[in-house]
Structure 1
Amino acid sequence: MISEWYEMIKARKWMKKNIPFLYAWHAYVGHELDLFEAFKKSHTIDYVANKQDISKDLLQSWIEVGVAINHLKEKKSGRYKVNRRLLLPKRNSLSGTLLKEMMELHIPSLLSYPELLKTQSKIRFDDKKHGEIVARTSRLIETIAYPNYKKLIKDGNVKSIIDVGCGHGGYLQRIAQEYPHIQMVGIDKHPHVVESAEKVCESLANVDIIHADVNEWSPSSKENDLVMMNNIMHYVAPDKRFDLVSKMSKWLHKKGKIIIITPVRNSEHGKEFSAVFNSFFSAHSNLHTLPTKTDLETIANKLGMRMRQFDPIIKEGSWYVAVIENK
């Protein structure tokens, strides 16, 4: 009897722990189907279901959850409206994209762990399918990290930059527009991403976008001021990271710098998110574990360089900026 009561207490505990997931699930569904926009003004369930050609009974269920968690409020005559006091994601917003990545990439990968553990297998990250989601999420990091680049550019009198894994060219575009005197090269191996970066930067005379594998490419000049590595460390196998950074260090003059922006494992800040993020990467055959601060310091020391800066840019997510330079 005592054991049954104990199990009931544990069951209630886990039910309560699952409540926060309802907020993310409800926001995700609302974001994907523009339901928050649909209920921006008070409407009935029938009206929205008919207008958007969606299931009435499932919409009813979604509405009930929304009212229960205060995302929505019930008005008169069976009408419902978004609770404007809450910061709900808008269509194509960065917050909505981050939510989409979590719900469509991270959570499904974590739920696959029992099967992956039993079969001793891994899943493969589909860049063509999910690359755009990840790229849009990277723009959120870009917005927060950009002041670090401005400071480096100002303090170091930067005139040339190489962006390794430039993605859709967001950093290059920002820097080029504000600093038209800086000559920049962006390199990426994914053709569809390169095509997007070329469109973004086509009007910028000081930016060249190159489709190439960084392991097989080198710049014509070895006297560059800054090499950028933004959100690419998890694409590089741990035993290949030293070789990559070593190669890039040869592209710099004596006072040049390498800047690495990445989530960091076992960090001082954001340990919970860092652990989950690392679990996501570990579940994929073509992604790799996150570096630790010690890993980055070791790479710098082996190159005869030093890690001048190591600061969090998003503490909750254990995102850090590391700056490596010659001693």
Structure 2
Amino acid sequence: MEGAKKFVQKYYLFLVLLLVVIFFSIMSEPFRTTKNFINILVQNSYLVIASIGISLVMISGGADLSVSYQIGLVSVFTGIITIDMGLSPVLGVIVGLALGVVLGFINGFFTVALDVHPMVTTLATMTIFQGAAHIISESKTYFDFPVSFKAIGQRYVGGIPVAVIITLGMVIIAYVMLNHTYFGRYLYAIGGNQEAARLAGINIRLIRIAGFIVASLFIAVSAIVLTARSGTAKVDLASDAVFSCFTACVLGGISFRGGGGNILGVVVGTLIIGVLGNGMQMIGLSMYSQYIVKGAILIGAIAFDNYQKKHRVKKLDVPQTA
């Protein structure tokens, strides 16, 4: 019995994903096709990458609400470079990634300089990025991307979508960075106990800024993948990404308090969100009903995170002896 309990605690996310897949496979015949499963992976590839970026900030005890319009701003910049200016798609990708670094620095710098919670700072920058994207693009939607650029999100290599290959590469990079570098260990340390990290000699301000920069670099990659897959660039390309990313992270075990969680959990959490979205569409659930389900999932994930924290605290409590 104890062994079964430990198994469930360790692999509960995979079990949830499996149950969701089984449920929709029973409810909808088109859902359980190989084509649809590949479609789910491709559609959510950008979301996996963006969620990983958000998780880096959350692990250090922060948050980034500007993700949706970082994606929009990078997307329209890529469109301007490759379509309006007619320059190389490679240059468009490079500019998009460089812009991601700049946006991450802006978020990190003002969060540290103002010494306020990142949710406040990134709520402000979210609005700034949205406005800037509309002004720069004149609220246009960009079409007619070169075939070589769209290949990033639409082509297959050896039967595997390029978008999925890129996503796997980003997952591996994030895993190595968090588990096998000082930078990753510092992020966990700052999120776990900022004062202890400071006393240990960690440059908290620098690491927090770097965390935002790396996170935004991941978000920029996700923007390029999504733009290439959809074949369009526009400000509101991923307007609901912030909700999906935070839900995936919390569902995947990343605490709002920081200091915990892992990349594999984020990936599985994102897949659960993706499978749910696809499955609900397949069975004809209305958009508004889907909103209710997704909101309930986020509340449930936060409640479960709080329960786990209280349970861990109780286990650590040692009764005092007289």
Fold shared per TM-score above 0.5: no
TM (norm. structure 1) is 0.21
Higher helix share: 2
Give the strand-richer structure, 1 or 2: 1
Higher RCO (CA 8 Å, separation ≥ 6 residues) = 2
Which TM-score applies when normalising by structure 2? 0.21
> Larger Rg: 1 or 2?
1
